[in-house]
Chains A and B, each alone.
Chain A
């Protein structure tokens, strides 16, 4: 159980350096910045680009 959890939590150094922490509630601190870039910001930016494209 703890092994599974440990694999999900970002490395302590990354958390301490503030790379992952966005100082908001929720479990976002469990994700590293590269992971957030791939799973959140990249797809979001693609979808928003498509949605706003016709207004160019």
Chain B
């Protein structure tokens, strides 16, 4: 009815020529493009440009204060024969694999514990987050003190208990230093995994557990056949992030050991920084940083395709 009433008025209005600009102004796709532009500019400026510059520098002999010239894959050939680089690759893979596995196991266990009903639940969950919210440098300094060769509280306690005769050289011995930095990374990463998995656990309906219990399922079976399948998508996301953060870790190592002793704790990130900024060889440092990209892509693909949501979780059958 209203349309009928309006029609004569529209019909009586003088028809004006609609320009291409007028049509563009009301075009949803065009407007969407404009709305995306600030975010795209931000990403291009702060993500794509540094990444592209880093890759370009890896093909040059640039040094601090000198632009450098294109040298092809010379930096990569140099790295191929560099034993310290391969040691840093080994350290990075060891650091990432061991820390990620432990962070996942302890984080999942902690999330399952925190999912229970208990007194002071909110306060306990907040306390768990403290290691994650404290700045990395601050927690690294705390661990530096704990790992001190003379004043370590761990060594002091073990000596008082009569378990050791002399102080443990946490950061002076190669393997001790490796395990020490891995422990510090696990300590820092567990709350992130636990709280994120806890958020996933909260979405699992209690009726599923009740039904499983009525069917006689043991606690392990409830976890294996109810909790784990429903948690798989969030595990994929959390572990992807966890692996990426661990692989690219820099601050913890730099504060605790600076890559020492004898390069035993040098990760690719710390070695790249040391060569590029400390040594001034921007090209070589950039090549080390660029060499991390294939590892990171592989980690993302494994996490994504290995742990993504299965079809049966949507009510469909698997292929």
Residues of A within 8 A of B118 (CB): 22, 40-41, 44
* Contact between B214 and A28, CB atoms less than 8 A apart: no
Binding site for B on A (CB under 8 A): 1, 4-5, 8, 22, 24-28, 30, 36, 40-41, 43-44, 47-48, 50-52, 54-56
Known: A4-B216, A5-B216. A43 touches B117 (CB 8 A): no
CB interface residues, B 43-89, toward A, < 8 Å:
none
Taken together as a complex, chains A and B put the C-alpha atoms of A56 and B191 apart, in Å, by 18
Residues of B within 8 A of A24 (CB): 117
Contact of A47 among B106, B146, B214 (CB under 8 A): B106
Residues of B within 8 A of A25 (CB): 117, 206
Q: How many residues of B contact A (CB 8 A)?
A: 30
With an 8 A cutoff between CB atoms, is B230 at the interface? no
* Contact between A51 and B206, CB atoms less than 8 A apart: no
Residues of B within 8 A of A52 (CB): 127, 130-131
Contact of B113 among A30, A40, A50 (CB under 8 A): A40
* Contact between A51 and B216, CB atoms less than 8 A apart: no
Contact of B213 among A5, A43, A56 (CB under 8 A): A5
* Contact between B146 and A54, CB atoms less than 8 A apart: yes
Taken together as a complex, chains A and B put the C-alpha atoms of A53 and B119 apart, in Å, by 22
CB interface residues, B 179-200, toward A, < 8 Å:
187, 190-191
With an 8 A cutoff between CB atoms, is B297 at the interface? no
Taken together as a complex, chains A and B put the C-alpha atoms of A54 and B142 apart, in Å, by 6
Whole-angstrom distance from the CB of B105 to the nearest CB of chain A? 12
Taken together as a complex, chains A and B put the C-alpha atoms of A4 and B213 apart, in Å, by 9
Residues of A within 8 A of B109 (CB): 43, 47
* Contact between A30 and B190, CB atoms less than 8 A apart: no
Residues of A within 8 A of B128 (CB): 48, 51
With an 8 A cutoff between CB atoms, is B209 at the interface? yes
With an 8 A cutoff between CB atoms, is B139 at the interface? yes
Chain A interface SS verdict (over half) = helix
With an 8 A cutoff between CB atoms, is B269 at the interface? no
**A-B contact sample (15 more), CB < 8 A, given A22-B119, A25-B117, A50-B187:** A1-B215, A1-B216, A5-B213, A5-B214, A22-B117, A24-B117, A30-B213, A40-B116, A40-B118, A44-B124, A51-B127, A51-B128, A51-B131, A54-B131, A54-B187
Taken together as a complex, chains A and B put the C-alpha atoms of A47 and B103 apart, in Å, by 12
Against A, the Cβ 8 Å flags (1 = close, 0 = not) of B120-142 are 00001001101100100001001
Residues of A within 8 A of B171 (CB): none
Q: What residue of chain A has the Cβ atom nearest to residue B210's Cβ?
A: A27
* Contact between A55 and B142, CB atoms less than 8 A apart: yes
Residues of B within 8 A of A47 (CB): 106, 109-110, 113, 190
* Contact between A55 and B130, CB atoms less than 8 A apart: yes
Contact of A51 among B117, B130, B153, B213 (CB under 8 A): B130
Residues of B within 8 A of A22 (CB): 117-119
* Contact between A51 and B187, CB atoms less than 8 A apart: yes
* Contact between B216 and A27, CB atoms less than 8 A apart: no
With an 8 A cutoff between CB atoms, is B241 at the interface? no
Residues of B within 8 A of A48 (CB): 124, 127-128
Q: What residue of chain B has the Cβ atom nearest to residue A50's Cβ?
A: B187
Taken together as a complex, chains A and B put the C-alpha atoms of A51 and B106 apart, in Å, by 12
Residues of A within 8 A of B139 (CB): 54
